[in-house]
């Protein structure tokens, strides 16, 4: 592996114009594809194998033309203070709004609240339901404009009007923190390298990689039904890992220069050593993201594969474009230790009383941990365990309009409906009674409705509405609790119980669907898939790390450390987003259940990112160990060369993820916070603290592997032993001068 990447790095360095041209061409192609691609279609998700999906499919079959999957909107009207919505003036304004919408070519139906009597008991609030013939992602701009204009006209008439539903998708707003995150990353890179040019390379290549990845996703969004969240997550991960991977290679390049190697040789060796770590770190991220397919939820599979593709592009760019850019930079990138004058580049190095160079902070920290490994291990594990405690009260759900910012019309419509009709009105349950095999379908539907009325937490049950064939009916149930509450979830389970008062009283098949039931089934499906997914991802990565480190205990330690960091991060997410601790600091306006996909998504992404630091830091230690150093010396050596880079990489990744906390979309905000805190725990507590403590206690046993397994494992040579052998054998540098060294000037 190291030898192949070494040659690849040297090739990219020598043929830098060709390599740069290829990547620019790919970026241009992705940009043109994104600009000319049709807008994304319906990105609604399906959940195969669930009762809610089965009922939804049955409705499509038995109620043809009903547009069961079409977009919907609820226009909520509220009369001015001291007036009622039934007053003549308000009634005229509402009817004018309905008539304006009814003329739309994509509109399937518009309800009249005065006919359906959908107004509150106090007569202050009413709503009209609008259903469309096409899905929410397929609505024409003219239809959405007409909906907004109709609401605005009713406001001009003196009513308070807001629109909920999925017809007007709330546009996520990015915060200024996204730009701040990139600025922080740039500052950290400058301080790490002491050079604006060296700092700019990781940023430039990461942006190119994200541009290609997100451009490709946008170009394929319509064909693959990818939502906007997919590109946001791909950009988040691609930017973070792209900067980190480039940072690893540029840092190693400068270290090789400091040892007196020519620039081309340094680029080759940096790609062969740090690049090997990048390949395996990236491979763990790709495995974790692509492994989301085991959940068997198409939307999640698409998100995982799209993000994995962006990470793969980041790896390829780090291995080829970075060496090419180093070739263009030439002498303008100095060896390790060299800094620009304005950053103190002319200052003499610090020395101790004996005149020896002072050890850097990484060295001092490693020696501190090695002196007190047991105490450090206990404090670290107990601290992470305390932060993980809230996991015991985890509640899962999916965000709805109630989690939108109060500045959006969707959230205001949600609040108005709760005020006028109760919190459960925002999450009605649709009961589908399949009476095809029943002796008396109408009697069966009546029995079902009567059984539901006997259940707790039920406000109202509508009469059964049959299809033309008379063999299938729908019943709408309004719960007393809000859609995301555990009480509503209990009600769904009560209706579905085979021996309960509903199903036990009829010979027809009773199914529960609707958005609320779909969300409950989605959460349950993700919860059931968590353990198999964890076993798959950790198992594959464990095997991969055995090959990388040629050890049993080091990969085991890495996996256990990951579990600690991901549980602690999930505990922090629960404390903020479910309990409300410090929620005001990051703009969480509404606390509630944790997004259903958060645990499984964090397991996948955090595991992949955690292995970045594990591979990069521990391969430095193994490199020193296989070259003859004692286990404790190898740990110190790994920290001497790797701690600064890993710390900088972690701070950069935290900054990038934190930038997405400013998003108005609750899912993006939660993921940004969760990944940022997870990286902080994993990099600084697990990898930088617990790892050296465990290695100190294990000693030589850390690098033990059974002889039979050692013979069976492929020689991936992440530590670059093949390059040392090549050097010891006296293999000539094909571009070196008579003295065996070559120094490129300029480009």
Q: How does DSSP assign 4-24, residue by residue?
A: HHHHHHHHHHHTHHHHHHHHH
Neighbours of 730 (CB within 10 A): 7
Least confident of 502-511, 522-531, 622-631: 502-511
Question: Has residue 354 got a pLDDT over 60?
Answer: no
In this prediction, residues 19-34 reach a mean pLDDT of 93
Mean pLDDT score across all residues of the chain: 83
286 closest CA partner among 306, 266, 268: 306
Question: Has residue 389 got a pLDDT over 80?
Answer: yes
Higher pLDDT, 179 or 124: 124
In this prediction, residues 509-516 reach a mean pLDDT of 89
In degrees, rounded to 5, the angle at the alpha carbon of residue 41 between the alpha carbons of residues 36 and 47 is 140
User: Which whole-number Å values give the CA distances from 386 to 235, 372, 379, 683, in the listed order?
Assistant: 32, 21, 11, 18
Predicted pLDDT at 166:
79
In this prediction, residue 732 has a pLDDT band, given cuts at 50, 70 and 90, of very low
In this prediction, residues 480-505 reach a mean pLDDT of 80
In this prediction, residues 443-464 reach a mean pLDDT of 89
In this prediction, residues 329-345 reach a mean pLDDT of 66
Q: Give the tens place of pLDDT for each residue, 461-479.
A: 988 889 888 899 999 999 9
Q: What CA dihedral angle connects 390, 394, 400 and 403, to 10 degrees?
A: -10
In this prediction, residues 104-127 reach a mean pLDDT of 88
Least confident of 63-72, 182-191, 478-487: 63-72
Predicted pLDDT at 170:
52
742 vs 735: CA distance, rounded Å: 7
Beta-bridge mates of residue 474: 432, 465
- DSSP secondary structure of 625-654: HHTT--HHHHHHHHHHHHHHHHHHHHHHHH
In this prediction, residue 737 has a pLDDT band, given cuts at 50, 70 and 90, of very low
Least confident of 39-43, 65-69, 398-402, 428-432: 39-43
User: Alpha-carbon torsion 191, 195, 200, 201, what sign?
Assistant: negative
How many whole angstroms from its chain centre is CA 661?
12
Predicted pLDDT at 338:
56
In this prediction, residue 735 has a pLDDT band, given cuts at 50, 70 and 90, of very low
In this prediction, residues 261-266 reach a mean pLDDT of 90
99 vs 102: CA distance, rounded Å: 5
Phi and psi at 384, nearest 5°, equal: -65, -35
In this prediction, residues 231-247 reach a mean pLDDT of 85
For residues 469-498, one letter each, b for 16 or more C-beta atoms within 10 angstroms of the residue's C-beta and e for the rest, the string is eebbbbbebbbbbbbbbeebbebbebbbee
Higher pLDDT, 530 or 744: 530
Structure tokens at 633: 């010396």
Q: Give percent of the chain with pLDDT exceeding 70.
A: 88
696 vs 698: CA distance, rounded Å: 6
Question: Has residue 500 got a pLDDT over 50?
Answer: yes
555 closest CA partner among 614, 604, 609, 505: 614
How is residue 335 annotated by DSSP? Answer: P
435 vs 509: CA distance, rounded Å: 7
In this prediction, residue 741 has a pLDDT band, given cuts at 50, 70 and 90, of very low
Question: Has residue 339 got a pLDDT over 70?
Answer: no
Q: Give the tens place of pLDDT for each residue, 540-594.
A: 878 888 888 888 998 888 888 888 999 999 999 999 998 889 887 887 877 778 8
Does this model's pTM top 0.85?
no
Least confident of 38-42, 55-59, 363-367, 561-565: 38-42
Q: Give percent of the chain with pLDDT exceeding 90.
A: 26
User: Which whole-number Å values give the CA distances from 500 to 200, 429, 483, in the listed order?
Assistant: 65, 17, 22
Structure tokens at 529: 């898939």
58 vs 432: CA distance, rounded Å: 8
How many whole angstroms from its chain centre is CA 584?
22
Predicted pLDDT at 483:
87
């Amino acid at each position: 592996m190291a030898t192949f990447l070494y040659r690849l790095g040297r090739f990219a360095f020598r043929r830098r114009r060709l390599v740069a041209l290829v990547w620019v061409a790919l970026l241009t192609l992705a940009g043109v594809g994104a600009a000319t691609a049709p807008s994304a279609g319906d990105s609604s998700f399906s959940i195969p194998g669930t009762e809610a999906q089965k009922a939804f499919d049955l409705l499509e079959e038995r109620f043809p033309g009903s547009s069961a999957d079409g977009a919907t909107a609820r226009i909520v009207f509220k009369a001015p203070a001291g007036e009622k919505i039934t007053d003549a003036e308000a009634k005229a304004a509402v009817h004018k709004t309905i008539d304006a919408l009814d003329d739309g070519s994509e509109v399937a139906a518009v309800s009249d609240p005065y006919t359906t009597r959908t107004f509150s008991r106090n007569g202050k609030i009413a709503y009209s339901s609008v259903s469309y013939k096409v899905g929410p992602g397929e609505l024409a701009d003219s239809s959405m404009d007409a909906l907004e204009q109709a609401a605005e006209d009713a406001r001009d008439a003196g009513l308070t009007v807001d629109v909920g539903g999925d017809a007007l998708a709330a546009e996520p707003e990015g915060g200024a923190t996204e730009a701040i995150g990139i600025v922080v990353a740039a500052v950290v890179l400058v301080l790490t390298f002491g050079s604006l040019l060296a700092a700019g390379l990781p940023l430039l290549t990461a942006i190119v990689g994200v541009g290609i990845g997100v451009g490709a996703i946008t170009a394929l969004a319509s064909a693959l039904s990818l939502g906007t969240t997919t590109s946001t997550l791909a950009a988040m991960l691609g930017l973070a890992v792209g900067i980190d991977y480039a940072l690893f290679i540029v840092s190693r390049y400068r270290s090789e220069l400091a040892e007196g190697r020519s620039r081309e040789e340094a680029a080759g060796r940096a790609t062969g050593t740090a690049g090997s770590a990048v390949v395996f770190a990236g491979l763990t991220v790709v495995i974790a993201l692509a492994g989301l397919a085991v959940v068997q939820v198409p939307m999640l599979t698409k998100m995982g594969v799209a993000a994995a593709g962006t990470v793969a592009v980041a790896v390829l760019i780090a291995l080829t474009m970075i060496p090419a850019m180093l070739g263009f930079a030439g002498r303008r990138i100095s060896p390790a230790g060299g800094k620009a004058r304005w950053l103190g580049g002319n200052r003499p190095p610090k020395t101790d009383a004996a005149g020896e160079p002072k050890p850097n902070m990484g060295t001092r920290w490693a020696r501190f941990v090695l002196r007190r490994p047991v105490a450090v291990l206990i404090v670290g594990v107990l601290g992470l365990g305390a932060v993980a405690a809230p996991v015991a009260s985890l509640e899962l759900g999916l965000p709805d309009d109630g989690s939108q910012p109060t500045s959006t019309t969707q959230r205001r419509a949600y609040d108005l409906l709760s005020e006028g009709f109760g919190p459960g009105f925002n999450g009605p349950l649709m009961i589908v009674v399949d009476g095809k095999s029943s002796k008396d379908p109408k009697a069966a539907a009546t029995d079902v409705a009567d059984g539901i009325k006997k259940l707790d937490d039920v406000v109202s049950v509508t009469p059964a509405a049959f299809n033309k064939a008379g063999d299938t009916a729908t019943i709408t149930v309004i719960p007393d609790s809000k859609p995301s509450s555990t009480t509503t979830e209990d009600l769904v389970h009560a209706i579905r119980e085979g021996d309960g008062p509903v199903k036990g009283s009829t010979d027809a098949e009773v199914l529960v669907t609707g958005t609320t039931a779909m969300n409950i089934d989605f959460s349950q499906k993700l919860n059931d898939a968590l353990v198999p997914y964890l076993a798959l991802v950790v198992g594959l990565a464990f095997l991969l790390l055995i090959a990388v480190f040629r050890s049993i205990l080091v990969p085991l330690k890495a996996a256990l450390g990951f579990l600690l960091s991901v549980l602690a991060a999930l505990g922090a997410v629960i404390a903020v987003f479910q309990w409300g601790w410090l929620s005001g600091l990051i703009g969480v306006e509404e606390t509630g259940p944790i997004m259903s996909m958060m645990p499984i998504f964090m397991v996948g992404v955090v595991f992949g990112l955690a292995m970045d630091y594990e591979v990069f830091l521990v391969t430095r230690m193994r490199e020193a160990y296989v070259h003859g150093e004692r286990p404790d010396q190898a740990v110190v050596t790994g920290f001497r060369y790797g701690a600064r880079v890993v710390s900088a990489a972690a701070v950069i990744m935290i900054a990038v993820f934190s930038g997405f906390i400013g998003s108005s979309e609750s899912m993006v905000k939660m993921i940004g916070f969760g990944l940022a805190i997870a990286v902080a725990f994993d990099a600084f507590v697990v990898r930088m603290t617990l790892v050296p403590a465990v290695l100190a206690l294990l000693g030589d046993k850390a690098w033990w592997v059974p002889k039979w397994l050692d013979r069976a494992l492929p020689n991936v040579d992440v530590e670059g032993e093949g390059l040392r052998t090549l050097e010891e054998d006296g293999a000539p540098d094909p571009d070196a001068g008579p003295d065996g060294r070559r120094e490129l000037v300029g480009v």
